[in-house]
Amino acid sequence: MTIKKNLQKIKEQIEVACQRTGRDPNEIKVIAVTKYVSEQTTREALHAGIEHIGENRVDSGLKKMDALGEQGTWHFIGSLQSRKAKEIINKFHYIHSLDRVSLAKEIQKRASENSTVKCFVQVNVSGEESKSGLSPAEALTFIEELSDYPAIQVVGLMTMAPFVDDPEETRPVFRGLKELQDKVQALQLSHAPCNELSMGMSNDFHIAIEEGATYIRLGTSLVGNETLPQK
């Protein structure tokens, strides 16, 4: 019941953000990030009508997917070690953390024949050292190079904004990702339509939407966090 309520509230907030910028709320897809919650809670999220599920660890993500994967669209949003990649490729529907050639090689090698793996290239727009992802300039070159890996389809770009008290401070980061998207799209690469922007989390998704997000990734505000002491 709470997930349904949370979802309702989030949908209202999405509508407000869309109204402010003249966007269509149907362009915004909500990924429920279930990394902090149980399989049962993830099942509830699917029952509440959530289509997109996000997991950031290979082992626990696969375990949930084995149990529930008949339903929903599954997004791998965590950083991905090359040696672990084979376990999720051809299983998860989207990978949000493509950030290096060695991983591209591994995806190419492991992808089923004649299929493509839908990837977001992860960009570190803010330049924080603790964050993974390529700088915007590196990302542009990298995306061009990905034409050598026909199994990879660059559906979009992903970023994580710094965690700050005032979400307004994240705006330049989201705007930077949008600007990079414009540059990629100007190249008209058949392997990189790059129509999607995966940006915005519980604390800053309304800003991300105003700046062009098409996938927002919500953990705490939507499905909660069961690893924290319960009140």
Site residues (vs ligand PLP, CB under 6 A)? 33, 35, 56, 77, 160, 201-203, 217-221
* Two structure tokens written together for 126: 């803010």
Nearer to ligand PLP, 151 or 224 (CB): 224
Nearer to ligand PLP, 6 or 56 (CB): 56
Closest residue to ligand PLP, Cβ-based?
A: 219
The least distance separating ligand PLP from the CB of residue 148, rounded to whole angstroms, comes to 27
The least distance separating ligand PLP from the CB of residue 122, rounded to whole angstroms, comes to 9
Nearer to ligand PLP, 156 or 219 (CB): 219
The least distance separating ligand PLP from the CB of residue 50, rounded to whole angstroms, comes to 14
The least distance separating ligand PLP from the CB of residue 217, rounded to whole angstroms, comes to 4
- Contacts of the segment 175-181: beta carbons below 8 A, 24+ positions apart: 175/211, 176/125, 176/136, 177/123, 177/125, 177/136, 177/211, 177/212, 178/211, 178/212, 179/136, 180/123, 180/125, 180/136, 180/139, 180/140, 181/156, 181/157, 181/212
Nearer to ligand PLP, 135 or 202 (CB): 202
